[in-house]
Structure 1
Amino acid sequence: MKLFLVPILIALNATVLFAQQNPSSREMDRINWMEFAEFVPEKIPTVLLPTGTLEPHGVVNNGADNTAPTAMAKEIAEDVNALIAPTLNYGITGSMAAYPGAFQITEEAYRPFIRDILKGLARNGFKNIIILNGHGGGQTKVLQEVTAEISNELGVRTLVINWWSFASDVTMEVFKEDGGHAGLNETAYIQAIDPTLVHKERYRADLATAYPEAGTWSATPFPSSIGLYQEGQGYPNFNQAQADEYFQKVNAKVSKFIKEIIQKWDMAGLH
């Protein structure tokens, strides 16, 4: 009887050991304070903070800028050994704010709010604060400035990644053309996450407008919810296999980069 119990006890001990090495969830709002204390910062020194906004995205959901970085964080968290902070769903929408369902947070409100979130993450012991940003424009500028301030003030290490521009080479590799705001790159990424959020039947080519060259013209609101980086490129003419390939390759590129940056911080002895 005792011999029969030995493999069971070994299996139970292995399960307990695994549980001690890995949290029950990588999402901060799904673990309790005791488990958090067991892992941060000794075992998990890094946190991923997805940021986005609510604004129109052609034929995909208004929350695409939240959907994308949230899914990305869940895909790469274990690989980069990070916890995931709750997504900041409201942002500085800018020239798309007039469209139905969009929300605009002023810079005056957004800047101190994101600053306090970063301070809270630092106070809770995270050494590396990585923002996976899903929305550009003025929001990028604020995120870059505030993260730099927090890094210098509190001695934490910060990184802001605009995934769609960082992965522009992946867009060209998979689709053989450029993308855009709500272009084929964003639309494909969302389709890989949840095809029910994409409504290609609503798409028309005249819904899209190429972004102007710098200094040529500007319009507020922007006249289209789809902004193409290159005239005639970026229409959602991809298939599911390409969407899935794009999703995996973008995530792999972002994950690899985060690990490289952390390794270089460590090699340089930066705290």
Structure 2
Amino acid sequence: MRMEDLTWPEFDRIKGKVKAVILPVGSVEAHGRHLPLGTDVFAPLELARRVEEKVKEKGSEVLVLPPVWYGHSFVLNTYPGTINVRPESLRMYVGDILSELAAEGFERIVLLNGHGGNIYPLIEAAEDVAELYPDLEVFLINWWMDFREEILSVCSSQGHAGEDETSVVLAIREDLVKMAEARGRRVKKKVRIIRKDIGRELFPDGVNDDPSGATAEKGEAILETVSIRIAEIILGGE
């Protein structure tokens, strides 16, 4: 069920009945010339929807929260349309959300993250709140990283706006994908370089992979496999 669809009495009644709450977190940023700026939110939102279905099939419920759209995106901020939020701002904002959920009595919260730049602020936000609520468990799930093995059984490669991410968006919103513009290459550096506009080198045209092999069928396979795994984690508490 979606939190924003509930009245407050309905929300109050279901609080003690859900297995977990899921907070999708993403970013608004450049994803090549072929993918929409909302890619990093579209993916976790769709995964959350599928996880909800799979958990319900097992006789349990999860509550899906409205997503956090904006994230920390220093590297891609060199491209138009990227909205970069400072890490401390994201940490505080998500931390406040987690605190409110914990105060409502929820003890299992899933941060379903779709963007790499969010990882450290989300860890810190969860640690801050966990210090205050000893019974709270926060699961940070970075879908493209934590299930890399499963994804690479479907795609030949992974990368920002690459084959895996492009396939997922094709499966979710094919109408928003410009496959005629889907091109890119893998760029690697031996050490992390932090410099203004470094994204032009690391992500030429906002891509760091070859997306040309992406298909909606591959995306569907990724979404299905990953959502099954997340549902298992929620139900099993692993």
Distance in 1 between the 2:14 and 2:8 partners? 10
Q: Which amino acid aligns with 1:199?
A: K
Q: Which amino acid aligns with 1:194?
A: R
Distance in 2 between the 1:147 and 1:253 partners? 22
- Unaligned runs of 5+ residues in structure 1 are 1-25, 229-233, 265-271
Distance change >3 Å, CA 178–CA 218, structure 1 → 2? farther
1:169 aligned partner: 149
1:54 aligns with 2:31: no
2:102 aligned partner: 122
> 3-state DSSP class of the match of 2:140?
strand
1:219 is displaced (CA, Å) by 5.3
Match 2:9 to one of 34, 39, 44: 34
Q: How does 1:91-170 map onto structure 2 within 5 Å?
A: 91-137=71-117, 139-155=118-134, 156-170=136-150
- Unaligned runs of 5+ residues in structure 2 are 56-60
Q: Deviations over 1:3-48 (max 9, x none)?
A: xxxxxxxxxxxxxxxxxxxxxxx1100011111111112x114100
Q: Which amino acid aligns with 1:133?
A: N
1:149 is displaced (CA, Å) by 2.2
1:253 aligned partner: 229
Distance change >3 Å, CA 258–CA 236, structure 1 → 2? farther
Q: Is the 8 A contact 1:212 1:218 kept in 2?
A: no
Percent identity for Structure 1 against Structure 2: 27
Distance change >3 Å, CA 78–CA 39, structure 1 → 2? farther
Q: Is the 8 A contact 1:45 1:125 kept in 2?
A: no
1:236 is displaced (CA, Å) by 2.9
Q: How does the TM-score come out when normalised to structure 2?
A: 0.88
1:227 aligns with 2:227: no
Q: Which amino acid aligns with 1:181?
A: H
1:240 is displaced (CA, Å) by 2.8
Q: Is the 8 A contact 1:48 1:77 kept in 2?
A: no
Q: Is the 8 A contact 1:118 1:150 kept in 2?
A: yes
Match 2:50 to one of 61, 71, 75: 75
RMSD, aligned α-carbons: 1.7
Distance in 2 between the 1:213 and 1:162 partners? 23
Which is bigger in relative contact order (C-alpha 8 A, separation at least 6)?
2
1:194 aligned partner: 173
1:73 is displaced (CA, Å) by 0.8
Distance in 1 between the 2:178 and 2:195 partners? 26
Distance in 1 between the 2:37 and 2:131 partners? 35
Q: Is the 8 A contact 1:45 1:126 kept in 2?
A: no
Distance in 1 between the 2:234 and 2:42 partners? 20
Over 3 Å off, 4+ runs: 217-220
Q: Is the 8 A contact 1:188 1:236 kept in 2?
A: no
Larger radius of gyration: 1
Q: Which amino acid aligns with 1:246?
A: I
2:58 aligned partner: none
Q: Deviations over 1:127-146 (max 9, x none)?
A: 10110001113x20110121
1:210 aligns with 2:187: yes
Q: How does the TM-score come out when normalised to structure 1?
A: 0.78
> 3-state DSSP class of the match of 1:194?
helix
Q: Which amino acid aligns with 2:170?
A: Q
Distance change >3 Å, CA 213–CA 255, structure 1 → 2? farther
Give the length in aligned residue pairs.
Answer: 226
